[in-house]
Amino acid sequence: MAVTMVRPSEFVANRILMLLSAPALAHLEPHLTHLPLSSRDILHQPDVPIDTVYFPTDGAVSLVAFGASGGAVEVGTVGCEGIVGLAALFGATSTPMQAIIQLPGEGFRMPAAVARAGYASGGEFTDIVNRFAAAHMVQTGQTAACNRLHPLNQRAARWLLTMHDRVEGDTLPLTHEFLSVMLGTARPKVTVALNRLSRAGLVRIGRAAVTVVDRTGLEGASCGCYDIIRTEYERLVGVATS
């Protein structure tokens, strides 16, 4: 991944960095490196030591859990509202989950040791990270419930809304195959669900892309999990995303 110089004003694109006071941000700034986040790049592998954390400024990173006998499903998403590698701040050396870039964008990376020390200091960085962690736990738990309790059409609508919150414009670059992994469902079933949303006039399906046509209608087609997660992020870190 190539890195570039960055203007201080660009830090505000990530919610955690934006909420820091100028002195607190100045303390972390020397350790932040700006970089592009390319689609399908893997930031963290399961059970591999986390030596770097990431602060996305746009795009989306999916957290994927794997079954012992095979199969995978997305259990969380991180965009401009948070930090990827949260477990490292709490003293964990690794997690059983994979962090993979779902939607391309940009962000900042920081050595995990620096982030961990900053968190351990007990200052405002600690408070902001704790608030994000609380919202993220709600997202993870609600996503697990959604995957178990709700029909695929509603889950697909929720997932598309979650991604739509994290991109500029209405087109999401994704394939049916990748969406099937994120939803833990066979590809043919995902295709059927997307076709239903398309026939309802809510999305338009293109080659390796889905375009949101009717955002309000898509919210109506989603389950209540989307609003629950979104409300927690708004309440705790002041950003409307789920």
* Beta-bridge mates of residue 73: 65
CA-CA distance, 159 to 136, in Å (whole number)?
15
Q: How many DSSP H helices and E strands does the chain contain?
A: 10, 10
Q: Could you tell me which residues come within 8 angstroms of residue 176 by beta carbon, excluding any fewer than 6 positions away?
A: 187, 190, 191, 194
The residue type of 87 is A
pLDDT tens-digit readout, 157-207: 999 999 999 888 899 999 999 899 889 899 999 999 999 999 999 999 998
Average pLDDT, the chain: 91
pLDDT digits (tens, 9 = 90+) for 7-43: 444 556 899 999 999 999 999 999 999 999 999 999 9
Taking 60 as the threshold, does the pLDDT of residue 3 lie above it? no
Q: Are 143 and 57 in contact (CB under 8 A)?
A: no
Q: Are 105 and 13 in contact (CB under 8 A)?
A: no
Q: Which CATH architecture has domain 151-222?
A: Orthogonal Bundle (1.10)
| CA-angle at 66, arms to 143 and 157, nearest 5° | 30
Return the half-sphere exposure (C-beta side, CA atoms, 13 A cut-off) of residue 128.
Answer: 20
Mean pLDDT over 94-104 rounds to: 95
Nearest to 54 by CA among 101, 102, 12: 101
Domains of the chain, residue spans: 8-146, 151-222
Task: Give the pLDDT confidence of 134-155 residue by residue, as tens digits.
Answer: 999 999 999 999 988 999 999 9
At 241, the pLDDT band (50, 70, 90 cuts) reads low
| Structure-token pair, residue 49 | 């030591």
Q: Is the pLDDT of residue 208 over 70?
A: yes
Closest to 195 measured CA to CA, from 180, 214, 181, 210: 210
Between 168 and 45, residue with greater pLDDT: 45
Considering only CA atoms, which of 104, 122, 118, 132 is closest in space to residue 15? 132
| Model confidence at 63: pLDDT above 70 | yes
Assigned token pair, 126: 């600690």
In this predicted structure, what is the pLDDT of residue 240?
A: 56
Task: Give the model's pLDDT for residue 11.
Answer: 56
**DSSP label of 31:** G
pTM of the full predicted structure? Answer: 0.89
Q: Tokens 């999990």 appear where? A: 225
pLDDT at position 6: 42
Residue range 8-146 forms a domain whose CATH class is mainly beta
